[in-house]
Each structure stands twice: as C-alpha cells, then as structure tokens.
Amino acid sequence: MLILIITTAVALLASSLADRRKTLEGLKKSYKMFLGILPMLLNVLILVSIALYLVPKETLAKWLGANSGPAGYAIAAVIGSIALIPGFVAFPLAAMLLKSGVGYAVAAVFITTLMMVGILTLPLEIKFFGRKAALMRNGLSLAGALLIGLLMRVFM
C-alpha cells in the first residue's frame, strides 16, 4: 500500500512538472473511469457484506470441512467461486482447514477458485469484457481450478 502511495505521488508530481495539461487530461480519465465502476462496485460490496454476515467464516469452515471426498471437492469449488474473501481471511481459513484434516486437493480448489473465479463480480466483469468473454474466462478458470486440485493431490 505504501509503495502504491509513493509511486502515485511521484508519478503525479513528475507528470505535472512535465506537462500540466496532459496530467489534467489523465486525471480526468481516471475520475471518469472511477465514477463509471463505482455504483456497480458498491452494489457488489454491499451484497458480499450481507452474504458474509449471513454465512460467517466459521460456518464456511464447517461446510468445507464436513466432507473430504468428491463432495468436499464440489463444495470447495462452489464456495470458492461465489465467495469474495480477501487473502488475509482466505489463507488462515485454508490453513485451519488443512489442520482439521481436509485434504490438500480441497484446500487448493478452494483457494484457486477464490482467486480466479468471481461469480459476485461477474456483473462488473461483463461490463468490461462483455458477457461471452466473462463467462468463458470464469468457466475455464473453474475447470482449471479443479484440475489444479487433482494435481495437488498427486504431488503433495
């Protein structure tokens, strides 16, 4: 975060020293883009906040830990695809799962779908990439995550 602040400040300073008009033009673009995605982003965050309240972390862990067979695999993929959990919650949760005896495959599927598949952010993704490309990227990523899980089981 600090790196981002410093980088932005330095870039902004250098840019405005070099060419004021060009800098303003760039900032105008930034502002318009930000306003463009703000409402949808806020809606996504609100829905996620409500969902996370209704299904707290402990409940998630219980669902994921209940079954380590093929069903556990499927549950991990579904939860991972839907949930939007930041890394600082997801990794401790996955560590907790491993400790409680869930296999590496299930933990890997959970983490990978969490990272690559975003059902809740799909409306936002569609806005940028169009329906077809967004659905395709998420579908392929889900398939890929399942494959990664299987391979983790083989190698770990």
Count of chain residues binding other proteins (CB under 8 A):
75
- Member of 45, 58, 59, 71 binding other proteins (CB under 8 A): 45
17-36 residues in contact with other proteins (CB under 8 A) are 22-23, 25-36
Q: What would the DSSP string read from start to end of 38-99?
A: HHHHHHHHHHHHHHHHHS-HHHHHHHHHS--SHHHHHHHHHHHHH----HHHHHHHHHHHHH
* Helix, strand, coil in percent for the chain, rounding step 5: 85, 0, 15
The DSSP output letter for 23 is H
Q: How near is the Cβ of 68 to other proteins at its closest, in Å?
A: 16
CB within 8 A of 18, min separation 6: which ones? Answer: none
8 binds other proteins (CB under 8 A): yes
122 binds other proteins (CB under 8 A): no
Near other proteins by CB under 8 A, which window of 59-67, 71-79, 103-111? 103-111
15 binds other proteins (CB under 8 A): yes
66 binds other proteins (CB under 8 A): no
- Member of 71, 81, 94, 102 binding other proteins (CB under 8 A): 94
Distance CA 52, CA 144 (A): 26
Nearer to other proteins, 37 or 71 (CB): 37
- Member of 58, 62, 95, 100 binding other proteins (CB under 8 A): 95
Q: How near is the Cβ of 101 to other proteins at its closest, in Å?
A: 15
Q: Please, are residues 72 and 57 in contact by the beta-carbon 8 Å criterion?
A: no
